[in-house]
């Protein structure tokens, strides 16, 4: 305020050193954040190899050395000034910024709270420089000899700021945080090699990788990599690539979950939720499938400058991104090629097919349910067309009920055997009355008949809830069942929903119900056993039904599980074919409602490999 007496002046511009210490509070929280900033600088400088050394969790010593473009002397001195950056010039440049750094805060902030040393030499062979800074003050600057690239050494972090030093954790905890930071950077920058040493011991040594799968294999081993499915697709302008864990490999703990946007790691609960949503009907409750998703959106659609450590971002249209992620993951899970290979030793084979960075075999656009029925259908081996027979899944009371459009009423009624890589109308065999073997264009599918039918029923029942309700069959001799009081109460409460899935139930007396009509999902269906099992499960709960989001889903999951065709049930050839057709007409054919695989596959390549032909 002009006119205020000089002595009353309180507002002052902070000296640089103080400003830097305050900024350091935001950017530099612990050794891991120092390492992150320095490694990002190395990557921004085009380094192909980054080496990180720590002592004592980084509290006494951090060194980051790179083979990047380095700096000449004037730049090196300038780089230590606050807001000195070579990466942007104007505020507009912030849009679509591709480098990690751009605030020009990291080096001065780190130098303000440590004993700091910068050694750097430019690629063009110009002279090399060493600058030493203590507590934010340049104490020496000299010419040295070294190869191109930059080495930054940070000693005695926070020693001049005891208030911050107090918050540092034990060396082990700080080391773990550094490893995690380096891992994140390694996962987002595949082209560079990374090394991390702690107290002279090597913690990480990663060669450059071609694909996320290669990097995952180098970090966590080929078994982990073999559990992942590769995906690479674009939905509504959002590119979604990376790896997702196969549902049957998902565990309750330890699912590694990483998100990257335009090459940078970020956190976003909504996007994580979108992934979980995509897995919802394929994994059992409480499981956390892992994923590494690399998203790309156009410049201007994401703001990376909303968080001091850049850990969060802001999308201009978050729900579009969430929808794209959900759809991409869901359709990947639905693809046949998400079917696991055979046996443990096929981790490598699985890596071949799903992980080698090749696009998944089936693109979302060719998902089974939208694929066209091939015109040559009915070709293979059907010289003598089988006589039309009662459909496997058709209510026997079909005369009374309107025909289910998806029921196999002659040729047009058969759902497309869509999977692009299924051979035209394949032969099917049954193994031990439990598994259906189907020959495909590129090998063999083994379908678990119970799991497959479970998936089919689940989706049909959910569809019926949305639509007209299930057809049911009036029973000639109604079933009378005596239930426990709790079960009886549950049936009374759920009567409307049970009717919607085809069970017409009447309460009779205090603990007795009469079933007048029952669904007829297949010819071998045991209505009484299914009803009893379902009621018990719905009354007492189970992992399966507890995972459901609402009553509809509870009933659908339970009914699918209890009502599906069982293992050990002999099936005719047309029944097998119909079951496989139906499976591929579902949205998520690869997994049953427990998250177990419905299909295993054996490719011709794998066969050739095993017979030593490759
Ligand atoms: P920012 O990364 O936000 O630009 P920094 O304080 O981290 O700010 O770095 C300041 C400048 O120093 C960078 O813009 C870059 O020009 C230069 N620099 C920092 N580290 C390196 C490095 N390892 N190799 C080459 N140049 C570097
Ligand atoms: Mg930086």
CA separation (Å) from 436 to 282, 327, 507, 604? 21, 29, 41, 18
| Rg, Å, the chain Cα set | 31
3-state secondary structure of 188: helix
What percent of the chain has a predicted confidence (pLDDT) above 90?
48
Q: What is the pLDDT of residue 90?
A: 60
State in Å: Cα 302 to ligand 1 middle: 23
Q: Which residues contact 507 (CB under 8 A, 6 or more apart)?
A: 488, 491, 492, 495, 513
Selection from 61, 38, 40, 63 nearest residue 52 by Cα: 63
Q: Does 101 sit in the ligand 1 pocket, CB within 6 Å?
A: yes
β-partners of residue 512 are: 482, 508
State in Å: Cα 304 to ligand 2 middle: 14
Indicate yes or no: pTM above 0.75: no
State in Å: Cα 47 to ligand 2 middle: 14
Q: What is the pLDDT of residue 372?
A: 30
Q: Does 415 sit in the ligand 1 pocket, CB within 6 Å?
A: no
State in Å: Cα 166 to ligand 1 middle: 28
3-state secondary structure of 549: coil
C-alpha 227 chain-centroid distance: 12
Quickly state the pLDDT bin for 291 (edges 50, 70, 90).
very high
**Per-residue pLDDT tens over the stretch 538-579:** 999 988 888 888 889 999 999 999 999 999 999 998 899 889
Mutation test of ligand 1: which of 41, 150, 189 has the most ligand atoms closer than 8 Å to its C-beta?
A: 41
Selection from 480, 421, 476, 469 nearest residue 445 by Cα: 421
Mutation test of ligand 1: which of 19, 34, 80, 101 has the most ligand atoms closer than 8 Å to its C-beta?
A: 101
**Per-residue pLDDT tens over the stretch 104-141:** 778 988 998 999 999 999 999 899 999 999 988 899 99
For 199-300, list the strands marked E by DSSP.
201-206, 228-235, 238-245, 257-261, 264-265, 291-296
State in Å: Cα 102 to ligand 2 middle: 6
Selection from 172, 203, 169 nearest residue 186 by Cα: 203
- Asked if 505 and 481 count as a contact pair (C-beta separation under 8 A), the reply is no
What percent of the chain has a predicted confidence (pLDDT) above 70?
76
**Average pLDDT value over all residues in the chain:** 80
Q: Does 119 sit in the ligand 1 pocket, CB within 6 Å?
A: no
β-partners of residue 119 are: 130, 151
Higher pLDDT, 93 or 35: 35
């Amino acid at each position: 305020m002009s006119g205020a007496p000089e002595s009353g002046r309180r507002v002052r511009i902070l000296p640089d050193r103080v400003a830097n210490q305050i900024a350091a509070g935001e950017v530099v929280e612990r050794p891991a954040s120092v390492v992150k900033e320095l490694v990002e600088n190395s990557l921004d400088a085009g380094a192909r190899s980054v080496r990180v050394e720590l002592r004592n969790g980084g509290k006494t010593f951090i060194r980051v050395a790179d083979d990047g473009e380095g700096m000449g002397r004037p730049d090196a001195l300038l780089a230590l000034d606050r807001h000195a950056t070579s990466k942007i010039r104007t505020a507009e440049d912030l849009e679509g910024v591709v480098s990690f750094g751009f605030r020009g805060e990291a080096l001065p902030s780190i130098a303000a709270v440590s004993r700091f040393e910068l050694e750097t030499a430019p690629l063009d062979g110009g002279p090399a420089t060493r600058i030493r800074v203590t507590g934010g003050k340049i104490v020496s600057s000299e010419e040295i000899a070294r190869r191109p690239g930059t080495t930054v050494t940070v000693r005695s972090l926070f020693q001049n700021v005891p208030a911050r030093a107090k918050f540092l954790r034990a060396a082990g905890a700080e080391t773990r945080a550094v490893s995690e930071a380096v891992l994140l950077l390694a996962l987002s920058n595949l082209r560079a090699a990374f090394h991390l040493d702690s107290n002279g011991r090597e913690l990480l040594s990663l060669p450059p990788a071609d694909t996320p799968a290669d990097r995952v294999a180098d970090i966590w081993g080929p078994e982990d990599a073999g559990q992942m499915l590769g995906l690479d697709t674009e939905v509504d302008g959002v590119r979604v690539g990376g790896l997702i864990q196969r549902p049957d490999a998902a565990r309750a703990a330890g699912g590694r979950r990483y998100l990257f946007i335009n090459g940078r790691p970020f956190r976003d609960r909504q996007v994580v939720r979108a992934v979980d949503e995509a897995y919802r009907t394929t994994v059992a409750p409480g499981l956390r499938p892992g994923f590494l998703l690399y998203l790309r959106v156009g410049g201007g659609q994401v703001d990376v400058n909303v968080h001091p450590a850049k850990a969060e971002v802001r999308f201009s249209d978050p729900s579009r991104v969430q929808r794209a992620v959900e759809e991409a993951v869901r359709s990947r899970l639905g693809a046949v090629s998400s079917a696991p290979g055979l046996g443990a030793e096929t981790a490598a084979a699985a890596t071949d097919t799903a992980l080698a960075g090749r696009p998944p075999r089936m693109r979302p656009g060719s998902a089974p349910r939208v694929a066209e029925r091939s015109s040559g259908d009915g070709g293979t081996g059907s010289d003598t067309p089988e006589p039309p027979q009662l459909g496997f899944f058709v209510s026997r009371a079909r005369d009374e009920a309107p025909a289910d459009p998806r029921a196999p009423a002659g040729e047009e009624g058969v759902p497309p055997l869509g999977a692009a890589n299924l051979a035209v109308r394949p032969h099917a065999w049954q193994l031990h009355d439990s598994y259906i073997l189907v020959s495909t264009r590129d090998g063999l599918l083994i379908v678990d008949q119970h799991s497959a039918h479970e998936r089919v029923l689940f989706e049909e029942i959910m569809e019926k809830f949305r639509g007209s309700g299930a057809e049911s069959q009036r029973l000639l001799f109604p079933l009378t069942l005596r239930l426990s009081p709790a079960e009886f109460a549950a049936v009374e409460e759920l009567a409307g929903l049970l009717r919607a899935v085809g069970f017409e139930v009447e309460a009779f007396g205090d603990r007795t119900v009469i079933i007048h009509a029952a669904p007829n999902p297949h010819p071998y269906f045991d209505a009484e056993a299914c009803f009893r099992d379902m009621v018990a499960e719905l009354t007492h709960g189970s992992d399966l039904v507890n995972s459901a989001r609402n009553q509809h889903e509870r009933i659908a999951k339970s009914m699918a599980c209890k009502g599906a065709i069982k293992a050990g049930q002999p099936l005719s050839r047309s029944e097998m074919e119909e079951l496989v057709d139906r499976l591929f007409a579902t949205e998520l054919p690869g997994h049953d409602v427990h998250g177990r695989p419905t299909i295993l596959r054996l490719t011709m390549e794998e066969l050739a490999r095993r017979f030593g032909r490759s």
